[in-house]
Amino acid sequence: MTQHISGIDWGIIAAYCVGLLAMAYWLSRRQGSREDYYVAGRNLGPWPVGLSIMATQCSTNSILGAPAFVAFTAGGGLLWLQYELAVPLAMVVLILFVMPLFRHLNLVSVYAYLEQRFDLATRLTLSGLFLFVRAFATAVTVYSIALVIDLITGLGFFASVLLLGAFTVVYDVMGGIRGVIYSDVLQLLILAIMLLVVLVSLTTASGGMDAMWQAFDSERKTTLDFAHHGFGDGKTFAFWPMLFGGLFLYVSYYGCDQSQVQRQLSTRNIDATNNALLINGVLRFPLVFLYCLVGVGIGVYAAQHPAFVSALPATGQGPQYNLAVPLYMINALPVGLVGLSLVALFAAAMSSLDSVLNSLSATTMEDYVRRFHRGHWTARKELVYSRGITAVWGVVTLVMAFYVGDIAPTVLEAINKVGSLANGPILAVFILGFLVQRVAGPQVIVGLALGVAVNGICWLTMPEISWLWWNVIGFFVTVVAAVVASFLPIYKRKSGAGRTEGEPDLFEQAIRHHLRTEAKVNWYRRSAWLLVWFLCLFVLLRWLE
């Protein structure tokens, strides 16, 4: 698939990478402490944070995998859009119940809450789980994206890893969370513009939007599948698992995952935090709809040009459909736009990697280095150590990328399943801390382990159950197991083992202080607009069928 890329296109790519480094250097001069580095001094506005959250979700795997799912995957099509219905609902839960507490505690690491509520072992268990899963997933992501870059450019795998990873690590180390957020905004704008350019090109090649839509396979136009439930019928992408499984997944990911919560904690107040979530809840669907429409166009183009599919690199499992979008970009777009299209692919990859590296660093620094350090460090020394830890995680993930080649082609799908193994149980741990007084640290760890184990059993022995349901199953198994364990005589009530009567309820304090006192916006009323948006999206999907 290696294509000739002009010197002008390479110049555009080089200018983009140099520009990122220059921006990161400029931002680095404003940093004076680890709080500046990890949460931007808690002084950012809602728009850059909200757009950054969106950019992280729009990874290279998304903009390549979603169009391939819509256009080519067996059982695929526009059913993917059902998944987005859960986003506004998840934002309501986060706005009203989760973020007020985290803002109240003035956290850097979200897992620090677990030590305050439960004990140190619970904090270290959850933060360690985050570090392991995210580092492994990041290495696989680097591997898969570098493979795409190699196939497109012919640079070779080693050079592709360095091109993608080295620039990301360097500007991440220098720029901190501000560099992550502002670069994400830039990358999202480039990506959206190039997706629009590709969509216009595809609609022109098909004779217009209406002609393209009419030519698209009618079976793939289905947007809502109420005929199946995914709970034993072998249908992974039915409506109910995508709605309820997606809801639990998104609340867990946006509310309990350091890579997401850290940015939400970088805003200046609760109104800015909640507005960032509102922006994500409203604008994420149009972005996903855009690259799904690109999938419609690619599907029609491939049907009208049989040689296009034969030009895709093939494996033992058939053509690599994930490469359809970059192949079209290189062949159909003029010089200059090809460079911008490759920048868009790099941008999607970088926006996923930079936030993960910064959050791996923050978790390591807050939950391990500072937690166990005895003595005093100056703010400047903490900043230096924070940058060093980011660099170490960058090197670790890049090196790991060279050792996942044998498993990465199948793990890319499995990574989503690994996330669903743990998302529900992790969410349950936090919810138990919010709402159930008697449950203590050892009991939630028992529940967490059992929730993950039950999901693992579903994976190994019940493949006919949609993996999206694991988010729900794991949540309820964890809750029930922890509550039952709290009544067992082996768990004696002692200091640090849950809240006792008369202790202040941090959850209620946070809701009262932030939503009813500090906030200048009535978030109960504004959250209702997200419910209206959910209904509008549902009507839109019904209309598209």
In a structure prediction context, what are the per-residue pLDDT tens digits for the chain, which is 545 residues long? 555 678 888 899 889 888 888 988 898 888 888 889 999 989 999 999 999 998 887 776 677 788 988 998 888 899 999 999 999 999 999 999 999 889 888 889 999 999 999 999 999 999 999 998 888 888 887 887 887 788 777 888 888 888 888 888 898 999 899 988 998 898 889 889 989 999 999 999 999 999 999 999 988 999 999 988 988 887 888 999 999 999 999 999 999 999 999 999 999 999 999 999 999 999 999 999 999 999 999 999 999 988 888 888 776 667 788 888 888 888 888 888 888 888 888 887 787 788 899 999 999 999 999 999 888 888 899 999 999 999 999 999 999 888 876 554 444 556 677 788 899 999 999 999 998 888 999 999 999 999 999 999 998 999 899 999 999 999 999 999 999 999 888 765 543 445 544 445 677 777 777 777 788 889 999 999 999 999 999 999 999 87
From CA 205, how far away is CA 462, in angstroms rounded? Answer: 44
Query: What is the Cα–Cα distance from 454 to 478, expressed in whole angstroms?
Result: 9
Give 124-147 as a DSSP string.
HHHHHHHHHHHHHHHHHHHHHHHH
- Dist. CA 525–CA 403, nearest whole Å: 51
349 alpha carbon, distance to own chain's centre: 12
User: Biggest alpha carbon distance in the chain?
Assistant: 73
d(CA 342, CA 327): 11
CA-to-CA distance for 383 and 187, rounded, in angstroms? 26
Q: Residue 313 in contact with residue 146, Cβ under 8 Å?
A: no
d(CA 299, CA 305): 10
Please list the alpha-helical segments (H only) found in 374-469: 379-401, 408-435, 441-461
Residue type (1 letter), 545: E
| Residue 159 CB neighbour total at 10 angstroms | 14
d(CA 69, CA 78): 8
Which one, of 390, 422, 348, 524, lies nearest residue 129 by Cα? 422
CA angle 36, 52, 145 (to 5 degrees): 110
| Pair 427, 256: CB distance under 8 Å | yes
b/e for 367-378, b at 16 or more Cβ within 10 A? bbbbeeeeeeee
Residue appearing with tokens 């760890």: 445
Rounded Cα gap, residues 372 and 486, in angstroms: 29
